[in-house]
Structure 1
Amino acid sequence: MLHNKIVVLTGGAEGIGWECAKAYAKAGATVCILDKNEIPIDKLNELKPGQKLALSCNLTNENEVACALETIIQKFGRLDAIHNNAAIAHPSKTLDQTSNDEWDLLMNVNLKSILYTTRYGIEHLKNTQGSILNTSSMVGSIGQDNHAVYVATKGAINALTKAMALDYASYKIRVNAVSPAAINTPTLQAWSQEQPEKEHIEKYLNRLQPLGDMPGGDVIADACVFLLSNAARFITGCILPVSGGAELGYRTII
């Protein structure tokens, strides 16, 4: 579905991002991972030779993002898709308890990184009539207690996705977002440890989705492959829930 596509993936070292990296490579793409964390060689070797490039990149630093995109263009000559997946969820706090530094870090990682990848990637996407995909979250639509700034960034991603879809439609560039609920990732595990009743949180999360227990990131990756593929060629501005129905109706969760 993504044969010979050059895909930039931010935050691809673990969790949903790593599952997307594997799925994109399996679908035939060359995956260019931008992440501040180094990927161990044995893990990176799960991707086929010639279908991977891992670059250390602080996505809150404009110069580093610009250099990373230039490196990719010099190596591969083009760019077909950008998946803005990088995000942090810490801290788990109400708004009044959030420090200025915590606010700035969440906004910079979760939102400003999208500004930078778009700023330095959009002209190359115009050349290929490419695609942009943003990783949002169900909390951006329905809210979440004790997590104010993270929720704000994901709500902003939903609105930004629609604005970008309109701005770039004339260039045949599609812009969509994927919206997970509870996915069993290192980020969610860390979040769970911050909760007041952390011993009960796993049971709660497993009952959150009507379709069943928390899945792994592969369910999100499969949806992302679709959204970046030609099969989704007439879909843009979509915030696709991949949530197991977590947002549906009143339910008893005990």
Structure 2
Amino acid sequence: MTGASGSNPAVSEFAGLSALVTGGSSGIGLATARLLSERGAQVACVDLAFSNLPEPLVPVVCDVTDDAAVRAAVEYVASTFGGLDVVVNNAGIGAQGGVEHAADEQWREVFEVNVLGVARTSRAALPMLRRSEHAAIVNTCSVAAEVGLPDRAVYSASKGAVLALTRAMAADHVADGIRVNCVTPGTADTPWVQRLLDAAPDPAVERAALEARQPTGRLVGADQVAHAICHLASPAALASTGTALPVDAGMSGLRLPASGKGRYD
């Protein structure tokens, strides 16, 4: 929608604000960083490595499992931008398999990134966010936090923790003026999912199965998740805190007949 002058309000929605996106080198993180930038924010992407990050996004190499590195990265971003208003905790890793075959090391690895990574980054950013008039944290959770998926025990448990952590943080920091929300995507069409498909005996069959379990009949686009994240991060979403916004192609809310097909092809 454009105003009477023909300008697009979304272009300046984040004007004057700065944002940090973890896991920002690809997939949902990169799509979110680009959209925040398009809407006026200064944006830093935090990740293990980068390849051809588009300007004006600022790359910051950091491992979210390293507390000292996280604190240094957040300080660098706040210093570079003159403050910090939005944190998107998107860094995460996946895991396949059930409880029976998941080793303790796999549990530790996934929780270190998916849960403690959120906690470390948020903790480091809180002093800067408290000084912002438009402070927001948005965590990338998953539909796996709310529905049972086969062979995803470790991953689902970590995302369940992210969901609970989001709501607890929202309660803890509402008095600070810091809104904390999360998105819960379904299976997204990202490089990580593509790597899983490539490793399958029959990638085409596996992709069809993933698409079929989503009521729309297709995977969720990274850009679609990015739009949801930017909505929750926006100063316009002042009434949203402690919210889990589904972007799951209907997985959590719809129960269609077995013969039902997607209607958005």
TM-score w.r.t. length of structure 1: 0.91
Residues 253/13 of structure 1: CA separation in 2 closer, same or farther (3 Å cut): farther
For 1:66-81, what aligned pairs fall within 5 Å after superposition? 66-81=71-86
Equivalence for 1:221 = 226
Deviation of the 1:216 alpha carbon: 2.1
C-alpha distance in 1, partners of 2:63/2:244?
26
**Per the alignment, in what secondary structure is the counterpart of residue 114 of structure 1?**
helix
Tell me the equivalent position of 2:263.
none
For the 8 Å contact 2:46–2:59, the answer to whether it is kept is yes
- Tell me the SS of whatever aligns to 2:115: helix
Equivalent residue in structure 2 for 1:143, among 144, 148, 154: 148
Identify which range, 168-177 or 99-108, moves more after superposition. Answer: 99-108
Distance 2:183 2:235 in 1: 17
Q: Does 2:174 correspond to 1:169? A: yes
Conserved 8 A contact 1:2-1:225: no
Moved over 6 A (4+): none
Deviation at 1:95, TM superposition (A): 1.3
Q: Aligned residue for 1:249?
A: 255
Structure 2 unpaired stretches of 5+ = 1-12, 261-265
Task: Tell me, yes or no, if the aligned pair for 2:92 and 2:114 is still in contact at 8 Å.
Answer: yes
Q: CA RMSD in A?
A: 1.7
Deviations 1:106-160 (A, max 9, x none): 0001011111112211011011040000000001100211111100011111111
- Structure 2 CA distance for partners of 1:96 and 1:70, relative to 1, 3 Å: same
8 Å Cα contact 1:24-1:225 kept in structure 2 = yes
Could you list the runs of 5+ residues in structure 1 that have no partner in the other structure? Answer: none
Q: Which has the higher contact order (CA 8 A, sep 6+)?
A: 1
CA distance in 2, matches of 1:192, 1:253: 24
Give the superposition deviation at 1:24: 0.8
Compute the displacement of 1:187 (Å): 1.1
3-state SS, counterpart of residue 192 of structure 2: helix
CA drift of 1:190 comes to 2.4
Do the aligned partners of 1:207 and 1:253 also contact (CA within 8 Å) in 2? no
CA contact (8 A) 2:142 2:186 kept: yes
CA distance in 2, matches of 1:205, 1:253: 16
Query: What does residue 183 of structure 2 align with?
Result: 178
Give the superposition deviation at 1:39: 2.8
Contact 2:42 2:81 in 1 (8 A): no
| Alignment partners' CA distance in 2, 1:143 and 1:4 | 41
- What SS class does the counterpart of residue 142 from structure 1 fall into? coil
The secondary structure found in structure 2 opposite 1:128 is: coil
* Structure-2-length-normalised TM-score: 0.88
